[in-house]
Structure 1
Amino acid sequence: MVKANVLGQLFGLTSVVVGQQVYLAANGSTPRPQCTKCTEGEPQYTFTPFEYSMTSTVRYATSRPSPTTTTTYAAPLESLTSLIGSVSYTTWGKWDPTANATATDAANPYGNAAWTELWRIANPPNFTQEATSSVFSTTVKPTPVPTEELVLPPRDYFGPTDCYNFPPGFEFGVASSASQIEGATAEEGKAPSLMDILIQDDRPKDYVTNENYYYYKQDIERVAAMGVKYFSFSIPWTRILPFALPGTPINQQAIQHYDDVINYIIEKGMAPEVTLLHFDTPLQFYGTIHNVTAVLSNSEIGSTNGGYQNETFPDAYLNYAKIVMAHYADRVPVWYTFNEPLLYSANGKAIDHVIKSHARVSHFYREELKGTGKIALKFNDNFGVPRDPKSEADVYAADHFNSFQLGPFCNPIFLGQDYPESYKMTIPDYVPLSQQDLEYINGTADFLGIDPYTATVIAPPEPGSIDSIKECASNSSAELRPYCVNQTTTDIFGWNIGYRSQSYVYITPTYLRLYLNYLHNTFRTPIVLTEFGFPVFGEADKQNLSDQLFDSPRSVYYLSFMSEVLKAIWEDGVQVIGAFAWSFADNWEFGDYNQHFGIQTVNRTTQERNYKKSFFDLVDFMKARGVD
């Protein structure tokens, strides 16, 4: 049975590859099928009076109007308090490691003294008053975006030539995450999370980021002024529940803050979408907090240990999710339980906890809270394409790579099926799923969220050898574990698969279309591009702001990707229902601030924002193709 499934997956992937014509042997130049008749022969040359007649067309982005009706997706908080049990609310202050005064409530296990102790034990690297000094200390009053800032930039000479429109209801938005934009790291009661201690080397940890915690109204104002409808952000667990666990006090200031954020997004004519956990796991789930850095490196599967495998994690996460949903579900149409969980899953137990925790939250939302919005997860997978699509071993390797990254989550959630063989043959401590588990988990997501930044060229450890993949999977000390394939960025002829930025991202639009076909035909569910973006090479090194703003490579990335999305929808029958640009502004990229993924610049001294050309180009592309 297993063998038949593997062969079926291989056949399915091979069919997609053939259908996409990855390699077309051709002689001569590129054909031009759009040209039914070409002008040729001898032109006629003439002289005419010269005048400066070429003028610029000035166009403006169109701001979103304020809503005229109110849509709700659940009952208000007053009707839902019974679902979260007996809770208490309190407030805390700001941690200053150089302060002389100490808290006087040492007898309170959840008081200011205990909260301060969390930060002292965490001992975040390079945490000084200078590193955390804020331009703001209270919510900044927003100012309208002046009309002259909304003038569209000059077009690039070459651009999309399609004649497709997006289907009705297609969601176009921008995305962000709390730890990458908020700042106010140890202020208003927020406790330490993984993100606050993640960087332990000599690189500076960015504790200020974009000051969005105080500057959120201006950020929302600017996105709305560009006409974008959907605003995706994350709520940090350690702001809502500084002590993380069930029964501990809720941070009243945090509840009010995100209430204001959601209300202002709606007031500006946009829709809020919320991620519950975007890598920022509370440090309480790492056992001995003093040894947290050693624990972080102990990950068999993902790049980082997210603490998901802790025995107390599932119940605590459900409690946190219930509190947040009970407070905001009436106004939030879409919820994401986890962001890219594979990257922060340490072992088989972590995977098990993620999918079952997601299912529990989904059942709570639908059956107890009676929510009518949508719920999903955001997955990572830089799509693996076979180095040689005519090679059975390379196709097997690509399927092994992709199924390992997505199958442990997507098989149970979307298909009600067991983990893929690629995962079970590699991870010895995976937690078996019973038929009862599969029935409970199946159907607990409304669509598949995917962050398809780029593609990766895949081949077996030994050229042409399927057995070399299996041998690696069975060897716990094999160098290429856990994926057990060779990952490169060049095709069989030695060419890079696309234009490269300074990071891992290559512009790979045709492979995005192939990827969407893979997802649609494998998991048979609607798809949302929950993040996708591109850091222009050397953008941070450009001295002139105007040079940073004219980011044509990023425009190429976005417009080519969205052109391929349209082809996937209309030519391949793939159901793609939304796309979210990462990110609405340059942010902290988990280690430095030099990789600029934003469609706005951020001056981190003055906190001034400026729109980049790619923001205008992407919005114009979407609006021209019927997106609200």
Structure 2
Amino acid sequence: MKDMKLNHYLFSISWPRILPSGIKNEYINEKGIKHYDNLINMLLENRITPIVTLYHWDLPQVLEEKYGGWQNASMANYFSDFANLCFERFGNRVKYWITFNNPWSVAVEGYETGEHAPGFKMRGTGAYNAAHNILKAHAMVWHTYDAQWRNKQKGMVGISLSADWGEPVDVTNQRDIEAAERYVQFYLGWFATPLFNGDYPQIMKDYVARKNAQQGLSSSRLPTFSPQEKSYMRGTCDFLGISHFTTRYITQKNFPSNSGNSYFTDRDLAELVDPRWPDPGSEWLYSVPWGFRRLLNFVKTQYGDPMIYVTGNGVSEKMMCTDLCDDWRMQYFRDYINEMLKAVKDGVNVKGYTAWSLLDKFEWDEGYSERFGMYYVDFGSKNKPRYPKASVQYYKRIISSNGFPNQREIESWKRKAMETCTSSNQLLAAARRKSKEHADMPKVWPVHDEV
């Protein structure tokens, strides 16, 4: 990080690492506290600002088994206690707090589709209930910080929301325009609108209610906030974190009432992609830079010009790819950062940008097969050595220039970056040959006289 001249580092604190049972008054793991103390201190010694996420999807297992996790409203109290402990122990050095990273995935993929932990398929209700409790938990943590710590520690509390952009397939077709609006409201607006305005987007309430009526349900599957809760929720974002990777074309699609309850069918839309869009890695991630600028402008107009931190933006590579000369990642960063800079010129209040990610890492249900890192990690080797990809040198130059000075300079960056990755490729290839030779050696097992 120091060599790359990064000025901030975004990481999460693991709730079960600090509180193994999830509950503050049962047991605090001081070794876990020490781990994060060391990390925060080391960052600050190297003039790198720590930005801390309190929840990046690791719920203590006990709370899932005993209470049903985010389906249970009591999670808000337990999470607030955990957050309060973090403020108490780390808040004298940490000034940027993110309560939740991408709660959309926690709700939808954890409790609707079952793709991610805890793997429930509670179609049409699970995601809405989880999101409702997550939003209440966020508001409680914001108020805890505001009341007990803000004056002393002078920090900020926000949330990081994942948001793809939705573009109408036909910009002259009103139904497509409305469908694209619904796509963004059911995605970003589901979480952002309650925090800025106190309630779910009207379009979301209308569409879920309509589906309920078609199916003869007496109560809404989308939970409601009481007047007190709306007031408590409104304005609980000191900044808005935006994690953005791709865009979809959207068109109107009517799902019949007998298609069953589902978050996806509630929206009455279909998502499409342009086959000409580059798709370097993950099946869901197409490179569509112009969507980024549109999304950022949408956030500005929709939520009253909030302070925005881009908390994640990057691209993966094909599963078996070991080429460290990642020209497609350099192109992705160049195109997306350029669109963000255009949004800044439009007047959008973007305060910072975080590339995703520093290292190859565990990619949820894809394991270690999809690589987002600027540093290649050799997971097959015991010591997990790291090798810089070309994007390391490229991104380093973007940071030092805080953007793009001119076309010739940028081409020179790319050329130099590609030269450095060639030697890294040779080192990696040599390490792999050595590893294979070791693996091919005959195994000699010890002989035991008795079993």
* Same-fold status (TM-score > 0.5): yes
Q: CA deviation at 1:375?
A: 1.0
2:63 maps to 1:309: no
Counterpart residue number, 1:284: 62
Q: CA deviation at 1:500?
A: 4.1
Counterpart residue number, 2:117: none
Q: Find 2:271's aligned residue among 487, 505, 517.
A: 487
2:326 maps to 1:526: no
2:24 maps to 1:240: no
Number of equivalences: 370
Taking a change above 3 Å as real, the CA distance of residues 479 and 625 of structure 1, as seen in their structure-2 partners, is closer
Counterpart residue number, 2:349: 575
Q: Which residue identity lines up with residue 244 of structure 1 in the other structure?
A: G
CA deviation profile, 1:541-599 (whole Å, cap 9, x unmatched): 33xxxxx22111000000111111111111x2111111111110001111321211001
Counterpart residue number, 1:517: 297
- Aligned to 1:587, the other structure's residue is in SS state coil
Q: Which residue identity lines up with residue 270 of structure 2 in the other structure?
A: N
Q: Find 1:324's aligned residue among 86, 96, 110.
A: 86
Taking a change above 3 Å as real, the CA distance of residues 588 and 626 of structure 1, as seen in their structure-2 partners, is closer
Q: Give distance in 2, aligned partners of 1:414 and 1:271.
A: 26
Counterpart residue number, 2:95: 333
Alignment of 1:400-419 (within 5 A): 400-419=182-201
Q: CA deviation at 1:507?
A: 1.1
Taking a change above 3 Å as real, the CA distance of residues 477 and 367 of structure 1, as seen in their structure-2 partners, is closer
Q: Find 1:624's aligned residue among 396, 401, 404.
A: 401
8 Å contact kept, 1:424–1:430 = no
Q: Which has the higher contact order (CA 8 A, sep 6+)?
A: 1
Counterpart residue number, 1:433: 225
Q: Give distance in 1, aligned partners of 2:396 and 2:205.
A: 40
Q: Give distance in 2, aligned partners of 1:423 and 1:600.
A: 44
Q: Give distance in 1, aligned partners of 2:72 and 2:292.
A: 35
Q: Give distance in 2, aligned partners of 1:504 and 1:549.
A: 22
Q: Give distance in 1, aligned partners of 2:12 and 2:400.
A: 26
Q: Give distance in 1, aligned partners of 2:311 and 2:41.
A: 22
Q: Find 1:447's aligned residue among 227, 236, 239.
A: 239
Q: Which residue identity lines up with residue 430 of structure 1 in the other structure?
A: L
Q: CA deviation at 1:318?
A: 0.8
Counterpart residue number, 1:192: none
Q: CA deviation at 1:620?
A: 0.8
Alignment of 1:322-361 (within 5 A): 322-345=84-107, 346-361=126-141
- Aligned to 2:249, the other structure's residue is in SS state strand
CA deviation profile, 1:2-51 (whole Å, cap 9, x unmatched): xxxxxxxxxxxxxxxxxxxxxxxxxxxxxxxxxxxxxxxxxxxxxxxxxx
- Aligned to 1:446, the other structure's residue is in SS state coil
Over the matched positions of the two proteins, sequence identity in percent amounts to 28
Q: Give distance in 2, aligned partners of 1:311 and 1:414.
A: 21
Q: Give distance in 2, aligned partners of 1:424 and 1:314.
A: 27
Unaligned runs of 5+ in 2: 108-125, 210-219, 405-451
- Aligned to 2:337, the other structure's residue is in SS state helix
Q: Give distance in 1, aligned partners of 2:293 and 2:344.
A: 9
8 Å contact kept, 2:165–2:184 = yes
Counterpart residue number, 2:42: 264
Q: Which residue identity lines up with residue 163 of structure 2 in the other structure?
A: D
CA deviation profile, 1:235-285 (whole Å, cap 9, x unmatched): 111011111124211001111111111111111110111111101111223
Q: Which residue identity lines up with residue 336 of structure 1 in the other structure?
A: I
Alignment of 1:95-106 (within 5 A): none
2:283 maps to 1:507: no
2:360 maps to 1:586: yes
Counterpart residue number, 1:565: 340
8 Å contact kept, 2:315–2:372 = yes
Taking a change above 3 Å as real, the CA distance of residues 594 and 348 of structure 1, as seen in their structure-2 partners, is closer
Counterpart residue number, 2:148: 368
- Aligned to 2:16, the other structure's residue is in SS state helix
- Aligned to 2:170, the other structure's residue is in SS state coil
Counterpart residue number, 1:382: 164
Q: CA deviation at 1:343?
A: 1.5
Taking a change above 3 Å as real, the CA distance of residues 622 and 523 of structure 1, as seen in their structure-2 partners, is same
Alignment of 1:122-271 (within 5 A): 223-271=1-49
TM-score (normalizing by structure 1) = 0.56
Q: Find 1:608's aligned residue among 364, 380, 385.
A: 385
Q: CA deviation at 1:416?
A: 3.4
Q: CA deviation at 1:431?
A: 2.4
- Aligned to 1:402, the other structure's residue is in SS state helix
Q: Which residue identity lines up with residue 398 of structure 2 in the other structure?
A: F
Q: Give distance in 1, aligned partners of 2:268 and 2:64.
A: 28
CA deviation profile, 1:583-618 (whole Å, cap 9, x unmatched): 100011113212110010112213211221112212
Counterpart residue number, 1:395: 177
Q: Which residue identity lines up with residue 281 of structure 1 in the other structure?
A: L
Q: CA deviation at 1:479?
A: 9.5
Counterpart residue number, 2:415: none
8 Å contact kept, 1:285–1:312 = no
Q: CA deviation at 1:418?
A: 4.3
Q: Give distance in 2, aligned partners of 1:423 and 1:618.
A: 42
8 Å contact kept, 1:450–1:528 = yes
CA deviation profile, 1:421-447 (whole Å, cap 9, x unmatched): 224532733222233222211111112
Alignment of 1:6-17 (within 5 A): none
Q: Give distance in 1, aligned partners of 2:287 and 2:53.
A: 27
Q: Give distance in 2, aligned partners of 1:344 and 1:424.
A: 24
Taking a change above 3 Å as real, the CA distance of residues 594 and 421 of structure 1, as seen in their structure-2 partners, is same
Q: Give distance in 2, aligned partners of 1:418 and 1:504.
A: 26
Counterpart residue number, 1:9: none
Q: Which residue identity lines up with residue 373 of structure 1 in the other structure?
A: G
Unaligned runs of 5+ in 1: 1-222, 290-294, 296-306, 462-467, 543-547
8 Å contact kept, 1:366–1:372 = no
Instruction: Specify the structure having the higher radius of gyration (Cα).
Output: 1
Taking a change above 3 Å as real, the CA distance of residues 479 and 422 of structure 1, as seen in their structure-2 partners, is closer
Counterpart residue number, 1:137: none
Q: Give distance in 1, aligned partners of 2:342 and 2:198.
A: 29
Taking a change above 3 Å as real, the CA distance of residues 359 and 515 of structure 1, as seen in their structure-2 partners, is same
Which stretch has the larger CA shift, 268-277 or 400-409? 400-409
Normalized per residue, the structure richer in helix is 2
TM-score (normalizing by structure 2) = 0.77
8 Å contact kept, 1:286–1:310 = no
Q: Give distance in 2, aligned partners of 1:395 and 1:551.
A: 36
Q: Give distance in 2, aligned partners of 1:532 and 1:440.
A: 31
Taking only aligned residues, the RMSD between alpha carbons, in angstroms, comes to: 2.2
